[in-house]
Structure 1
């Protein structure tokens, strides 16, 4: 085995170890929502229009999806009709369409895609309403890594049918998806926050490597932005997710941890209002209208990616999926960007919020067996390899993580050891995580819009205290 291959495998093993440690901190374990708590995060109310089912149409994905390895079993349910709450934007949506088209063709099961709201907070609210009404209009659904405990009572136990398959996945994620001994979701992919940078522009302006500290990022972003605006007036130094939603919770947790501010809740104690957190939010506040546009406070992942991939930003914070999208054939920045750990304060470590999604089956589904076979296919080693190589989605199946094609497709993972993975406090908050996250990201949003960090964090501390009594 060559040295590069050995190094890449060590990177994967580092990720697996980090995920195991994070899983011990963040997993739902055997906890369940408090008695009488039917809808965690009551503050979340969605106003979106009802989702419309879609047939899997043509896509820009050129790679051939894998055949359904469990087709023989799945064909027993040929003719069944399923609704799958799927990815709604970007390469994830493209991959869903390709895989579902293959599944329908191989099994005779008819799966309709229902694109979920791209805002995770809104998706959570949609699920709340569907489950409260015990609706059969949802069969298979995507779950954020911090949701299994909150929705467990509405999800089918998959252990009997998929327990053996689950043994192939990273153990800590399986533990995260196990509530009261029931496997309520199958791991699908995992991820963490990263810094994307334009290699050509760094070279043009005299930089030999990406920034390691936040001060360096600010200086480099300003210099490149000022220079590029001579020909591109709307060029930006740094884009990220600043909208008041779950993505802002992830961004802000990274800022705070990388400034030595810890997590917002540690060992059951609310620690959000501390000097490190105040400094981190003050810094981010200073980006708005300077190296970032004033409009960054309405940015989600795809807004940031489209700006960066369109050649209109020097730096971007985003998830791993943006790597494959940026290197697509028609991408203006193909071959012109790199990926690195997010910056940090001197003496601190880069931080990446832990993300990732799972697939689950509603216990109110009228086609549970067919739905299980869909989940089996989408989370299989074959499908995970396809999503990893075509879309940069980090697999949760251990053998796929070490597949040579997967290792080659994600060179940025060699820097994983330099990143402190930061879990969201779903274990500390339990069924009230959504309520706690809303309190946090709404406060951060107020700071980004001009309010004093210390004052706002004091108010967030009070809201969290009331919410978690």
Structure 2
């Protein structure tokens, strides 16, 4: 409710904000260069200065000021910037935040600049990313880095229960997880993070579910219901734990949780924290029902709506989205490049782990592009917990949830 009130307030304030002092990067630096301000979140913000220095070497008339913002503070800081009109020139947005800030008019329409900046054209990006680039038929952001979820699995333990390779279908996943679960007490077959709001939607997409749009919620459709029955059965049958328990890397190492879904960041974490597992684990694309669809996440780069340094900001985003720059950024940040062409580079194409992510990226979807999605997703986690932990009826809970989702978007 608070976010909804903020969004409505921001739309009214935005018109006034354009006549106020323009955004932070609105002047020249002390040495006469044009200075742009870039807000980047989390670890990326801390590491971006190195790449900004290289951009400055190629663009002697532009100075880049990087402000690193912790993810925990970022949303509120962005809301304040929109309300006051005193924001950055370039801002990083998580893909699930794009609809909220685009709806408030905070993001510059990049459509008129696509011919001058070919790196911005949607055809350069995976289909799942293109969804997050657009809002109301305007291009309001460019995918900077991306991530998706795949299946992590212990090759040695799967082989012990009759699987020489990763389960490739829903039936195989359920069968393999059940057999792994039967190894004894206090072990499981598949770890599903119940706090991850996107995993249930991944199962739904794999079952042929399509989100109809903001005018009508269809979380009570047969495809969604069937997927949620499959999802909740893992918990009901004790194949997946309903409590968090031990750290996932330690549980993976000990064989307690021999399969789980996660993103590319887990590769280095497992290699660093569980080196003894070398050659005993791998990753695979998601198991298939109708499709093997996974989620498309990551961050986009956008220009703040009232930036006075639009040309300089566009040059910076263009530089960050060149294939060579994205490959450098992969080395610096361990985040995956958004450009499709980058996945033809040997470093990605020939790597046994990263190439799996490249294959999965060919079938991904972004979260529903409505500004209320975050609120709806949190409501859904509360709903599904009543089934996985409380034993409630799936159909009845989904009917109530769908009604609640409709109420959320109608407010």
TM-score, scaled to structure 1: 0.64
Query: Is the radius of gyration larger for structure 1 or structure 2?
Result: 2
The DSSP-based 3-state class of the residue aligned with 1:142 is: strand
Measured in 2, the distance between the counterparts of 1:351 and 1:288 equals 22
Distance in 2 of aligned mates of 1:105 and 1:392: 18
Q: Cα distance, 1:458 vs. partner? A: 0.7
8 A contact 1:322–1:392 mirrored in 2:
no
Distance in 2, Cα, partners of 1:175 & 1:293: 33
- Equivalent of 1:142 in 89, 92, 98: 92
Kept in 1, the 8 Å contact 2:92–2:300? The answer is yes
**Aligned equivalent of 1:101:** 50
**Which of the residues 399, 402, 406 maps onto 2:344?**
402
Deviation readout 1:69-126 (Å, 9 max, x if unpaired): xxxxx9987695845232x3xxxx3x65444234247736442321213xxxx86565
Does residue 169 of structure 2 align to residue 240 of structure 1?
Answer: no
- Which residue does the alignment assign to 1:335? 279
**Residue in 1 that maps onto 2:295:** 353
Secondary structure of the residue aligned to 1:190 is strand
Instruction: Tell me, yes or no, if structure 1 residue 382 matches structure 2 residue 324.
Output: yes
- CA offset digits 1:346-397 (Å, max 9, x no partner): xx33231233321123346687676555534433322312344676644332
* SS of residue in 2 equivalent to 1:103: helix
- Contact 1:252–1:444 (CA<8 Å) still a contact in 2? no
Distance 2:143 2:76 in 1: 22
User: What is the match of residue 383 of structure 2?
Assistant: 443
Q: What pairs up with 1:390-429 in 2 under 5 angstroms?
A: 393-409=335-351, 410-413=354-357, 415-416=359-360, 420-426=363-369
Distance 1:140 1:309 in 2: 41
In 2: Cα distance, 1:160 partner to 1:324 partner = 37
- Pick the aligned partner of 1:128 from 76, 79, 89: 79
| Distance of aligned partners of 1:391 and 1:461 in 2 relative to their CA distance in 1, 3 Å threshold | same
**Contact 1:285 1:449 survives alignment (8 Å):** no
Task: Decide whether aligned partners of structure 1 residues 442 and 367 sit closer, same or farther in structure 2, where only a CA change above 3 A counts.
Answer: farther
Judged with a 3 Å threshold, the aligned counterparts in structure 2 of structure 1 residues 329 and 304 are, in CA distance, closer, same or farther, namely closer
Distance 1:466 1:165, change over 3 A: same
**C-alpha RMSD over aligned residues:** 4.2
Distance 2:76 2:386 in 1: 22
Aligned in 2, Cα 1:304/1:113: closer, same or farther, shift over 3 Å?
Answer: farther
Q: 107, 117, 120: which is aligned to 1:163?
A: 117
Retained in 2: the 8 A contact 1:77–1:369?
no
Is there any run of 5+ residues in structure 1 with no aligned partner, and where?
A: 1-32, 41-73
CA distance in 2, matches of 1:310, 1:384: 36
Q: How many correspondences in the alignment?
A: 372
- 1:294 is paired with a residue whose SS is coil
- Normalised by the length of structure 2, the TM-score is 0.72
Measured in 2, the distance between the counterparts of 1:116 and 1:390 equals 19
5 Å-filtered alignment, 1:204-353, equals 204-225=160-181, 227=183, 236-243=188-195, 247-248=196-197, 250-260=198-208, 262-265=209-212, 269-288=216-235, 290-296=238-244, 308=252, 313-327=257-271, 331-345=275-289, 348-353=290-295
Select the residue among 373, 376, 395 that pairs with 1:454. Answer: 395
Point out where structure 2 has 5 or more consecutive residues left out of the alignment: 12-28, 57-62
